[in-house]
Amino acid sequence: MSDHALTRKLSAQTLPWATDWDALFGRSAPLILEIGFGHGAFLAHLAQLYPDANLIGIEIANRCLDAAEALIERLRLPNVRVIHARAETALHHLFRPATLAEVHINFPDPWFKLDQQHRRLMQRDTLDALVSRMQTGAALYLATDIEAYARMSAKLLAETPGLDNLLPDSWLRDPSAHPHRIITKYERKALRDGRTPYYFAYRRSTTAAPDIPVIEDLPMPHLIFASPLDLEALHAGFTPLKTREGETIIHLMTAYRGRGALLVEAHIAEPTIDQHIALLVLEKWRDQPGTYTIQLSPLGHPRPTAGVHRAVWLLAEGLLALHPDARIIDHKLQT
Ligand SMILES: C[S@@+](CC[C@H](N)C(=O)[O-])C[C@H]1O[C@@H](n2cnc3c(N)ncnc32)[C@H](O)[C@@H]1O
């Protein structure tokens, strides 16, 4: 295995919830996080600046992950890992409370519009999760070039329990607000276009913040039902379903017929994770038709969340409704 084999293609979808970072890095060291690292130059700079820290970068854009991985390999940096994840997913599922020693967010949400229902990185629930993951004394550095975003962030940060402002004002319009800062790719563009960024610097205090536990995997969902209908009839009777329950959206889209099975394509959007998965309806015993198992297909690394358990239940309800004598025999669902 090359030195950097571990850096490749890590993702919140496949990493353990929560992740044992000491095991992943092969050493115990302070954890520094950058969210939305773009092409990774700032992250690489941090890794060089702090050789005694373990650096983690979170990004949603695949092309950024590829660029950062190439840079890390070229610079031969052993103390940095990049993870494909939405910040919301990483913060809730990968990191235990009070584990981060420092956090950097440079120019999030450039297409932010106050009047849009766009899901912003800087918002109450994500910031609360972030603060809960910071150790006492950990610094949070944020930069943005958008005035409305700066004002919104200033209000949000000031209202956050457990954070102390390190600056005399809400922000500084000067990069010296952040120690050892280098100019990022996006920052250079903003400066070139005449937008002077807003720099924020906060520190995690000893004041209690919302307690936000790690969301771990549930057991694998599993339901057994009996129905006088054969697979063909279950397939014909399948009706797509889209439902919102609280903040979770479950969409059972299409059923496909395979040998001895139906495969139901589903999209499940939960506040902390979006999953495009497949549920399987399998004939339990080939020689004894009429008993079926619903379970999660291993296609695409699905994670057994509360939303996935609920989707199995909703699929079962739909299939059971197709015949008055159909009934549930057993299930392992948390719903
Ligand atoms: C304007 S770019 C800034 C990139 C880099 N930090 C810089 O200053 O050059 C914003 C970056 O944040 C990433 N991003 C946006 N929302 C994110 C989220 N919720 N989780 C992780 N990354 C996110 C985008 O893919 C993009 O690469």
User: pLDDT tens-digit profile of 61-120?
Assistant: 999 999 999 999 999 999 999 999 999 999 999 999 999 999 999 999 877 766 555 678
Strand order in 222-226's β-sheet? 241-245, 248-258, 261-269, 274-283, 291-296, 222-226, 327-332
pLDDT band at 4; cut points 50, 70, 90: very low
CB 59 within 8 A of CB 34: no
SS3 332: strand
Whether ligand 1 lies within 6 angstroms of the CB of 38 is answered as yes
* Separation of CA 60 and ligand 1 centre (Å): 7
pLDDT at 253 over 90: yes
- pTM reported for the whole predicted model: 0.93
pLDDT at 118: 61
pLDDT band at 8; cut points 50, 70, 90: low
Pick from 11, 34, 35 the residue to mutate for probing ligand 1's pocket: most ligand atoms within 8 Å of its CB.
35
pLDDT band at 299; cut points 50, 70, 90: confident
Q: Which residues contact 10 (CB under 8 A, 6 or more apart)?
A: 81, 82, 83, 84
pLDDT at 288: 75
Evaluated on CA atoms 46, 48, 52, 54, the torsion sign reads: positive
* Separation of CA 126 and ligand 1 centre (Å): 15
User: What are the backbone angles phi and psi of residue 87, rounded to the nearest 5°?
Assistant: -55, -40
Q: Which residues contact 98 (CB under 8 A, 6 or more apart)?
A: 132, 133, 134, 135, 136
Which residue has its alpha carbon closest to ligand 1 atom 4? 38
Strand partners, 134: 100
Pairwise CA distance, residues 85 & 100, whole Å: 17
Q: Mean of the pLDDT values across residues 33-52?
A: 98
Whether ligand 1 lies within 6 angstroms of the CB of 184 is answered as yes
State which amino acid sits at residue 21: W
pLDDT at 284: 87
pLDDT at 125: 93
* Separation of CA 221 and ligand 1 centre (Å): 34
Q: For residue 34, which atom of ligand 1 is closest to its CA?
A: 6
pLDDT at 285: 82
Q: Choosing from 3, 20, 22, 109, which is the catalytic residue?
A: 109
Verify whether residue 330 is a known catalytic residue. no
pLDDT at 5 over 60: no
pLDDT at 103: 98
Q: What is the DSSP string of 174-197?
A: SGGGSTT----HHHHHHHHTT---
pLDDT at 115: 59
Geometric angle at alpha carbon 269, from 300 and 240, rounded to 5°: 85
Which residue has its alpha carbon closest to ligand 1 atom 14? 36
CB 268 within 8 A of CB 250: yes
* Residues of the chain above pLDDT 70, percent: 96
Of residues 260 and 138, more confidence is placed in: 138
Pairwise CA distance, residues 228 & 129, whole Å: 48
pLDDT band at 1; cut points 50, 70, 90: very low
SS3 3: coil
Q: Which residues contact 328 (CB under 8 A, 6 or more apart)?
A: 223, 224, 225, 316, 320
The mean pLDDT of the chain is: 94
Whether ligand 1 lies within 6 angstroms of the CB of 191 is answered as no
What six digits make up the tokens of 93?
Answer: 């599922």
pLDDT band at 3; cut points 50, 70, 90: very low
Q: Mean of the pLDDT values across residues 273-277?
A: 96
Give 191-235 pLDDT, tens digit per residue: 999 999 999 999 999 999 999 999 999 999 999 999 999 999 999
* Separation of CA 228 and ligand 1 centre (Å): 52
Cα atoms in the Cβ-side hemisphere of radius 13 Å centred on 255 = 22
Q: Residue by residue, what is the 3-state secondary structure of 203-259? A: EECCCCCCCCCCCCCCCCCEEEEECCCCHHHHHHHCCCEEEEECCEEEEEEEEEEEC
Whether ligand 1 lies within 6 angstroms of the CB of 146 is answered as no
pLDDT at 41 over 70: yes
Pick from 11, 34, 60, 91 the residue to mutate for probing ligand 1's pocket: most ligand atoms within 8 Å of its CB.
60
Rg (CA), the chain: 23
Angle between helices 62-75 and 41-49 (to 10 degrees): 40
pLDDT band at 2; cut points 50, 70, 90: very low
pLDDT at 116: 57
pLDDT at 141: 98
